[in-house]
Amino acid sequence: MNDEITSLPFESDLSDHDARSSSSHLLDELALHGYRPFEDDPDPRPLPSSDAAALALESVVETLSGLLSDTRLEADLPDLLWSIVNLFHRKADRIGRDLDDNEVAQRRTQAEQDGSEIRSVELERLIAQGLTLVERRNAFEFFRDQLSELYSTETGSSWRPRSGSMVNHRALTSAMIDSRDFLNAKKLADTQVLLPAGSRIAFAGGPDCNDHTRIWATLDKVRAKHPDMVLLHGAGPKGAERIAACWADNRKVAQVAFKPDWTRHKNAAPFKRNDVMLETLPIGIIVFPGSGIVENLADKARKMGIPVWRFGKEGA
């Protein structure tokens, strides 16, 4: 019997492994499995191309339709297709909420800036993360919109969410480096995307102003001068703003209601609402008699150089 102990075939491999550094092992793992950024890190990988995404989504719908058509499950196809579109709609909405959290974090970090490198790097990280969130949200909105068109083609009905709005945000430039620029652009994009195209005309009046004849005549004159007008108003439940909203419904004029956010701003809600309305930069404001809130809107508009057209009880 040969008592000589032969070396194991993998013995030398184990020795080499033990001699390697931990960083070398980490690099090998990254090369093998690929780089995967953590949830709160910006992701350098590219987004799917729009052409590739459109083809892939069309393939999904065609495959599902082919599977269920001419079978006992064909009646369930519209519900399943609706759910697929809703899947991307909800994902975009969740990313939008993450983007709101990122905005809050950026504002907090702005206030904490003390000139140190740590604070500066943290703010830069949040900005990069915010830009990635914007791109991800826009991508999923693109997927949703592509699927909604396929849904309409397949079912003959328009896709609509069960609740909330269905909007498509404009992409922000990736060249932004200043946090305040980023936040301002995000706020502007979120506001602008909800506004129909056209000449924006703001309207304000108090709840006790019920001269519907003069209000309708005034709005008709403005519309004759600006056929593409979009009416902005404060969504008052009665009085001048309610009359203006009824006029827009009757004339098929696009309108945007700026309701005060009482939950968030308490007693300051109407004045904050005025600021938001003016941020859309209307080309003019029609003012009928009202309260101090109406006057606040008119005063702020004048300071911004926005024309104010006043209409009292006796005329303009």
Closest CA to 103 of 127, 125, 137: 127
For the stretch 161-206, pLDDT in tens is 876 556 665 433 333 334 555 555 566 566 555 567 788 999 999 9
Give all domains of the chain, ordered by start, each with its CATH number. Answer: 23-174 (no CATH), 192-310 (3.40.50.450)
- pLDDT (mean) for 202-215: 93
Q: Give the residue with greater pLDDT, 305 vs 7.
A: 305
Cα three-residue angle 43-46-52, rounded to 5 degrees = 140
Residue 290 has pLDDT above 80, yes or no: yes
Instruction: Answer with the residue of higher pLDDT: 264 or 316.
Output: 264
Question: Which residues fall within 8 angstroms of residue 72, CB to CB, at 6 or more apart?
Answer: none
Contact 182, 212 (CB under 8 A): no
- Chain centre to alpha carbon of residue 106: 17
Is-contact 194 256, C-beta < 8 A? yes
Band of pLDDT at residue 316, cut at 50, 70 and 90:
very low
Q: How confident is the model at residue 40 (pLDDT cuts 50, 70, 90)?
A: low
Residue 296 — very low, low, confident or very high, per pLDDT cuts 50/70/90? very high
Residue 37: pLDDT over 80? no
What was the pLDDT predicted at 311? 87
- Note the pLDDT tens digit of each residue in 236-280: 889 999 999 999 999 989 888 888 888 888 888 899 999 888 988
Tell the burial category of 143 from Cβ atoms under 10 Å away from its Cβ (0-12, 13-18, 19+).
Answer: buried
Instruction: Judge if pTM exceeds 0.85.
Output: no
* Amino acid letter, residue 85: V
**Mean pLDDT rounded to a whole number for the chain:** 80
Lowest mean pLDDT among 19-28, 100-109, 119-128, 196-205: 19-28
The answer to which of 80-89, 171-180, 260-269, 283-292 has the lowest mean pLDDT is: 171-180
Q: Of residues 31 and 60, which shows the higher confidence score?
A: 60
pLDDT at 231 over 60: yes
Mean pLDDT of 137-166: 85
Mean of the pLDDT values across residues 103-128?
Answer: 82
38 three-state secondary structure: coil
Helix (H) or strand (E) holding 201: strand 199-204
- In Å, how far are 75, 212, 234, 275, 298 from 293, measured between CA atoms? 54, 20, 10, 11, 9
Helices (H), the chain: 11-19, 22-33, 50-68, 77-111, 117-155, 179-192, 212-225, 240-251, 262-265, 269-279, 292-303
| DSSP label at residue 76 | G
The pLDDT score that the predictor gives to residue 191 is: 58
- Give the span between the Cα atoms of 273 and 192, in whole angstroms: 15
CA distances from 74 to 67, 69, 85, 87 (A): 9, 5, 18, 21
229 pairs with which residues across the strands?
A: 199
At 76, phi and psi to the nearest 5?
Answer: -85, -10
CA angle 75-79-82, nearest 5°?
Answer: 140
The average pLDDT across 299-304 equals 91
